[in-house]
Amino acid sequence: MKISQIGEDPFIQMIKEKMNQDLPKDVIGIEDDCAVIPYTRDKLLLLSTDSLTEGCHFLKDKIAPEDLGYKAVMVNVSDIAAMGGRSLYLLMSIALPSDVEESWLKKYLEGVQEACSEARVFLIGGDTTGSKNEIFINFTIVGEINKSDIKYRKGAQIGDKICLTSPIGDSLAGFHSLMEGKTNRLTQKHCKPKAQYKQGLWLGKQIAVHAMMDLSDGVDQDLARMMLASSKGAEVVLEQIPMSEDFLEFAKTHHWNASEQAVVSGEEYCLLLTVDPVEFERLNNEFIKKFSCPLYVIGSVKSGTGVTYLQKGQNVKIESKSYVHFKEQ
């Protein structure tokens, strides 16, 4: 069977079953946004890695090199934020074809530097190598967190409110705008996403937050992963999906079902979390005071498995599909 017939999640499960056994005590391996390693009596180390491949994650002639550098850092910072941690250090590996211009490289590094400065993370090493055709970028990130603050995907509880920290859909619309040759706020959201590291660090300290992850592959895929890890089900109300005015206008002009497209929009890099319903109002009020925006409730955690969508009180099937690596799209 070819990898295109297997898909990303089954492949990761295959790796987990073969390589995630007999880990040292208190080490958490393949099952969340980061690996977790004991560090001091009160702290844990968080480790993650993310790659960007030309032709798959970006098109060199469609994204400014400084935006690519910024994005490559932020997608890694987002993994640390997803577990409530603080980013510390980065390693960068990059493979480059021989025809890449020096001017492109300088602008790319400017973007890396900007993101590192914003997130207060330090690039301390890595590897450079040649490539026959495409650019390949990989960062490995190290962060830390207090043991009492860490959030996992597996903590969702029945009755929890399912929340997002920002509207969604802009990244998908931005990608399509890029393909149409446009430059606007939507394309900027796709090309230069900002990890919500401040929100993640704050939410990690909140006992009312039971589970958390970042939104890299869209609500449809990522919420399903969270519910699988938590052995729970989820009910999402499409009318409650938060969307920006720009996205709604784009959806209207392109004859999209806005809420359906929003829930499959990947590379949003906001946070997906579940919150104790009794504590939600208090937590939301504090979140608004600190970040000048609310937590957007999109549904609730139920018994059972999988993700169910409601529209006008009726179960509906999402026809649109999220991007799945290795699958033929």
Domain residue ranges of the chain, discontinuous segments joined by +: 32-146, 153-316
Domain 153-316 listed as CATH 3.90.650.10:
yes
pLDDT computed for residue 323 by the predictor: 54
Cα 105 from chain centroid?
26
Residue numbers of the chain with a pLDDT score lower than 70? 3-6, 12, 15, 20, 320-329
The pLDDT of residue 38 is 94
φ/ψ (deg, to 5) at 231: 55, 45
* Residues 126, 119: Cα–Cα separation, whole Å: 19
Q: What is the pLDDT of residue 322?
A: 58
Which residues lie closer than 8 Å to 25 by C-beta, 6 or more apart? 38
d(CA 213, CA 259): 21
Fold classification of 32-146 is 60s Ribosomal Protein L30; Chain: A; (3.30.1330)
The per-residue pLDDT for 299 is 98
Where in the chain does DSSP place strands (E)?
35-38, 43-53, 86-96, 122-130, 136-146, 161-164, 209-214, 233-237, 271-275, 296-302, 306-311, 314-316
Measured N-to-C along each axis, helices 280-291 and 197-204 cross at an angle, to the nearest 10 degrees, of 140
| CA end-to-end distance (rounded Å), the chain | 17
**What does the pLDDT read at residue 329?**
47
Measured CA to CA, the distance from residue 99 to residue 70 in angstroms comes to 22
Secondary structure of residue 184 in the 3-state scheme? coil
The pLDDT score that the predictor gives to residue 4 is 67
- β partners of residue 307: 234
Instruction: Please tell me the predicted confidence (pLDDT) of residue 23.
Output: 78
Specify the pTM. 0.92
Query: What local confidence, expressed as pLDDT, does residue 10 receive?
Result: 78
The residue length of the chain stands at 329
Own/partner contacts of 8-14, CB < 8 Å, gap of 24 or more, are: 8/324, 8/325, 8/326, 8/327, 9/225, 11/326
CA distance 82 to 38: 18
The answer to whether 273 touches 211, Cβ cutoff 8 Å, is: yes
Using CA atoms, how far residue 193 sits from 168, 186, 266, 285, 307, in Å, is 12, 10, 11, 25, 26
Residue closest to 145 by CA, chosen among 293, 20, 32, 229 = 32
